[in-house]
Amino acid sequence: MRVLTDAICVRVLCQENVLVAIGNRLVLLHLDANGDTQRTFAAVPRLLDKIHGIVAYLITETTYQIVFHAGPEAFGTIVNCSTHSFSECTRIEVREDVQSLPVPHIRRRVSDWISSVSLLSPTELCLLTSHGVAVLLHRSTEKPTEWSMIDKCACDDGSTLYCSTLSGQQWDGMVCFTGTALGLLLIWRVAGDNRGKVLERISAHNGVIFSIACDFAAGLLTTTSDDRSVKFWKIQQSAAKDHKSSIELHEERYCFGHTARVFQCRIIKNAFRYLVATIGEDSHLCLWNREGDLLLKKQLDEGATLWGMDYDPETTTIFVTASNANIHKYSIKTWMEDSQQGSSKQDMNDISPTLTVAEHLAKIRFIPRNGNLVAVTNKHSVVTLNSNGTVIQTLAKVDALKCSILDVGESFLYLAGGCNIQLYKLTNEGLSELISLKSICFEDKMLLEEHEEQLRDGTIRSLNYCKLSRNVAICDGYGRCLIYDEALANVLSKHRIPKSPERWITSFAVPCEGYLLLADRSGHFYLFGVQRVQPLCKLANVHGKLGITSIAVEAEDGECGSYRLTTTGHDGRICELYLNTNGPKLELLTYSKTRISWIDRTIPSGSGRYYLGFNDSHFLMTDERNEMCCQFDCGGGHRCWDFYYDEHSNEFTFVFIQHKKLKRMQITLACNVGSALSLPRHKWHTRACNVLRVIPRSDRNYVLVSGGEDNILRINLFANGQLVEQPRKHIFSHISGIKTIIASPLKEDPDQLLVISAGGRAQICLTTVKMLTLGPKQEYEYMLLASDAERCRWKTNRQSSYDPETKFMCAARLGEDRIVFGCSDGFVRIYKLCRTASQWSVKLETETFYGRCILQTVAIDGCAMEGLFVTTATDGYLCFWDVTTPDKPIYRHRHHSSGMNSVDVRVDGTGNILLATGGDDQSITVSQFKVTTLDGKAQVVHVGGLCEKYLHTAQVTGIKLVSNDQLISAGVDQRIYICSFTGFSALTVTGSTSTCVADVKGISFIPERNELIVYGCGIEVVNLSNL
């Protein structure tokens, strides 16, 4: 894709043919003969506004008349679904009669922002403007590209419309439903005796009305608003056309299900029922029945606003578009095909077995080989149950054991209590009788630390079974860990967990022969050799101070001892680690956040994984793409629970004990496909992208590193002129918005990239990225005057001088080992970049108070004087600095009347410095400076320059010098200009275009392709060859 921004609307044409608007682009998604999803783009003129609406009218079996509108413009085209092609897009021009001056009153014009359109026939079109003017247009059969105005009707109420819906297939019966900013619902007709008169004016919501859906046949009207509500109305239409109150409207239900503004609603119907689907700012799709009951609440995206929605009745699929250009689909076949009350097919049952008086289940586990349950009661009896909770077998109770731990392996069941373990053999039918009662002895001198006295025999605090190696790890409260075979016949190795507050293990894995991975309850991760008591490597607090719950091992290069590890924990993160047993070396690469706040288990499934855990009182299961598979209320994750997953039937069974009762939830994880279309999911920034850097790769492709207000550092690949979906990586190390990025290949390894990112909360993050695979490693995090945890800790004589609102606004790298940061608190800070054998770090060297917020910093490379850099601030001055004397600027020059948002520098052939800036005052200034030395000190002299004040009509936020006499600029006005300034006589525009990206933050230029990347609330790639 070359445009990733708000995808506002979607329209289903016929089966597996979906028309989507992404920014100002129109794309047809369809299936080819092989069942693969293909994309066909319409040749749409470059539009300043995004496409806000699409309507279609069936002409023949496979062709559709399409009309789409963007801002005040509307366009028409014909789509052939058999050839998957577009006809030429033509603009629909509405010409009004010219009225001589002076006019008796101010007319509401047709040339206004278009609110909605409706195709009454292939040759008749109804347009409604944002100030309540309805227009009927007719297309001539002789000139199919020309439309003429037949009739026009203006509503008596001229309020600005935030939404509208046109109901009717003929102009004479057309009813307009419009919503205003004050929450008023207006209903009026465009024809008849009451044309233009408001028939109903109802205060419908406590805020802006964003969408209206109406079905006269069902007598149902729905509205949504920024008050987060969905309203259901009963609507009736009188047969008398001349009656003033021909439409009756009564409020039926006032429903809340969304947590933010609700932008779209749609009435869906079939032979069984009527449903209402709503989407909004909270990234959720909600499905309601006509009685106002919430049937489904499904999160479709991660923070992106959901804008548009359409329904395909043939595949029972809802298509949804999002603000980050993602397109989603969700099948509602379950609700549409069942004539009974729709449900999600998730049934929770009480399957508590019948036990003796005052006896109840205390611990529960599934037996993997047959799906039966084994349980321990509060009276320490062991019973086996079938999937319905019926007692199959009761085993003889051992009075000497009070069970505190229950675990199940491939062949044995382990019951641990005190210092003893009961061992039962697992059979296909259930459990055999007790095989052995083994007493675990931890007393061993080799497990004692230096100068440590003999410890008393410890109680078993943890027992963990490794499925891969079929070993059992048993640990006591003193950190003494014994590794047994699965039959507990032989001790394979002995180890000692280092001191920590909770010194027993929560997870255990064997990556290869001779090595063990152990994780304790305090969140520390250890690599042990089987011959070593003490760990070979340690990673502290991999998941904070909470325990690691699962470890997955994947061999990267088994012969060289390289492994990729994936761990989950109670902090809701999935961490990726690197292990090399030859070093040995254990290091954290990166981590990702999930929708689960407490990840407890992991299920491998084919080539992917499911993650199971809890959010407050709800159980959740997600897949590798962070898609929600199921969610239900179970009371929370503190209780005893287990699961069973049958891969053949794709059925998931969850059991837990609540209020001494055994509860079961069974879910069939049917793939929610519906439509066979594979939809684009680029997962671009969900908030404004503040900074983007382009780094060329050895294969002639480009790595894009970007950061924005969503706090995520994103790494994407730009290949063959397209921003590809895979590979991509996301870094979650920032706790606030990212304002600046420096990305440069390492001198000793050009295929590895060092990314220095900084932003809010005065945070700097260092990340290395492998250029070819985009594999990241989070190297270092720094916060000015300590981290949050250290600042919150009380210290003697502590001085609180840290401003948590300080931001690193900009950065520039000086040479190999210095970085200069401009800060929002008015300081210019210079850091030294340090690197040891295994660690990157930064250290503050100097800080100088300038007194204004520093907006831009740029280093001057190639100049006679090394160590020069330029800063711009909110005062409009260019400041030259020498890194050897950073106490004050060596030269200041007035460049703008206010702040400068963009700057670029270039050193010409004579050694002079060329600087171009764009500012808040909407002007572009280009200046030339000469640098000389006097007594060993740098001297800067202004040679000449020019200033163009009226090129842009808003702040200039992006500027790039492409040669010694040419530049490119972009601004918040969404205009892009190519200008020349030969001889500094004038700034001459040689080419211009517009971008659909709103709130432009900056531009990046790729000279090899002559392409410009514009970023802000989205991203667009613009080819400059044809401008």
Tens-digit pLDDT profile for residues 41-75: 999 998 999 999 999 999 999 999 999 999 999 99
Segment 354-381, tens digit of pLDDT = 998 989 999 999 998 888 999 999 888 8
Task: Report the distance separating Cα 926 and Cα 947, nearest Å.
Answer: 6
**Cβ atoms 483, 495 nearer than 8 A:** yes
* Residue 208 · residue 179 · CB < 8 Å: yes
With bands split at pLDDT 50, 70 and 90, how would you rate the model's confidence at 456?
Answer: confident
- pLDDT, average across residues 428-448: 83
pLDDT at 26 over 90: yes
Q: Could you tell me the two tokens for 673?
A: 């496909």
Query: Which own/partner pairs from 165-170 qualify as long-range (CB within 8 Å, at least 24 positions apart)?
Result: 165/116, 165/212, 165/213, 165/214, 166/116, 166/117, 166/118, 166/126, 166/128, 166/134, 167/214, 167/216, 168/118, 168/120, 169/120, 170/120
What span, in angstroms and rounded, lies between the C-alpha atoms of 741 and 692? 7
CA 114 – CA 718 distance, rounded (Å): 35
For the segment 86-113, what is each residue's pLDDT rounded down to a tens digit?
Answer: 999 999 988 776 655 565 555 677 889 9
Q: What is the pLDDT of residue 804?
A: 60
Whether residue 127 is predicted with pLDDT greater than 70 in this model: the reply is: yes
Sign of the torsion angle spanned by Cα atoms 46, 48, 52, 56 = negative
> Across-strand partners of 729?
715
Q: How many CB atoms lie within 10 A of CB 64?
A: 22
Question: Domain coordinates of the chain in residue numbers?
Answer: 159-298
Grade residue 1026 by pLDDT with cuts at 50, 70 and 90. confident
Q: Tens digit of pLDDT for each residue in 392-409?
A: 988 877 666 778 899 999
Strand pairing partners for 367?
A: none
Residue with tokens 């295929």: 751
Q: Which helix (H) or strand (E) holds 460?
A: strand 460-466
> Residue 225 — very low, low, confident or very high, per pLDDT cuts 50/70/90?
very high
In the prediction, which pLDDT does 876 show? 95
Q: What is the structure's pLDDT at 243? A: 43
Residue 976 pLDDT: 97
User: Positive or negative CA dihedral for 188, 190, 196, 197?
Assistant: negative
Which residue is associated with the tokens 């230096």? Answer: 450
Q: Which range (244-248, 263-267, 903-907) has the least confidence?
A: 244-248
What is the rounded average pLDDT of the residues 480-488? 94
For tokens 């009276």, the residue is 379
Higher pLDDT, 89 or 649: 89
CA 69 to chain centroid, in Å, comes to 28
If you average pLDDT over each of 346-350, 496-500, 631-635, which comes out highest? 496-500
The pLDDT of 810-824, averaged and rounded, is 95
Tens of pLDDT, residues 265-289:
999 998 888 999 999 999 999 999 9
- Which strand (E) or helix (H) includes residue 21? strand 17-22
Give the range among 661-670, 901-910, 1012-1021 with minimum mean pLDDT. 661-670
User: How, if at all, do strands 702-708 and 689-696 pair?
Assistant: antiparallel
Is residue 304 scored above 70 in pLDDT?
Answer: yes
- 29 pLDDT more than 80: yes
* Cα torsion 136, 140, 141, 145: sign: negative
pLDDT tier at 616, thresholds 50, 70, 90: confident
Look at residue 929 and tell me whether its pLDDT is greater than 60: yes
Predicted structure pTM score = 0.90
Report the pLDDT value the prediction gives residue 437, as an integer from 0 to 100.
86
Q: Which of 461-475, 616-630, 896-910, 990-1004 has the lowest mean pLDDT?
A: 616-630
The pLDDT, as a whole number, for residue 800 is: 46
Banded model confidence at residue 818, pLDDT cuts 50, 70, 90: very high
User: Does the pLDDT value for residue 805 go beyond 80?
Assistant: no
Structure tokens that stand for 28 in this block: 């047809």
Q: What is the pLDDT of residue 98?
A: 60
858-874 exposure pattern, b = at least 16 Cβ within 10 A, e = fewer: bbbeebebebbbbbbbb
Residue 836 has pLDDT above 60, yes or no: yes
The pLDDT of residue 136? 95
Q: Which of 147-151, 693-697, 872-876 has the lowest mean pLDDT?
A: 147-151
Q: What is the CA radius of gyration of the chain?
A: 34
- Distance of alpha carbon 906 from alpha carbon 915, whole angstroms: 7
Side chain identity at 46, as an amino acid letter? Answer: R
Burial 991-1017 (b: 16+ CB within 10 A, else e): eebbbbbbebbbbbbbeeeebbbbbbb
Mean pLDDT of the chain: 90
CB atoms under 10 Å from CB of 322, counted, come to 26
Per-residue pLDDT tens over the stretch 591-607: 999 999 999 999 988 77
The percentage of residues in the chain with a pLDDT greater than 70, rounded to a whole number, is 94
Which residues make Cβ contacts (< 8 Å) with residue 619, sequence separation at least 6?
Answer: 612, 613, 630, 631, 632, 633, 634, 637, 641, 654, 656, 665
* pLDDT at residue number 766: 97
Task: Provide the pLDDT for residue 343.
Answer: 43
- The mean pLDDT value for 705-714 works out to 97
Report the pLDDT value the prediction gives residue 794, as an integer from 0 to 100: 47
CATH of the domain spanning 159-298, picked from 2.130.10.10, 1.10.150.20, 2.60.40.10, 3.60.21.10: 2.130.10.10
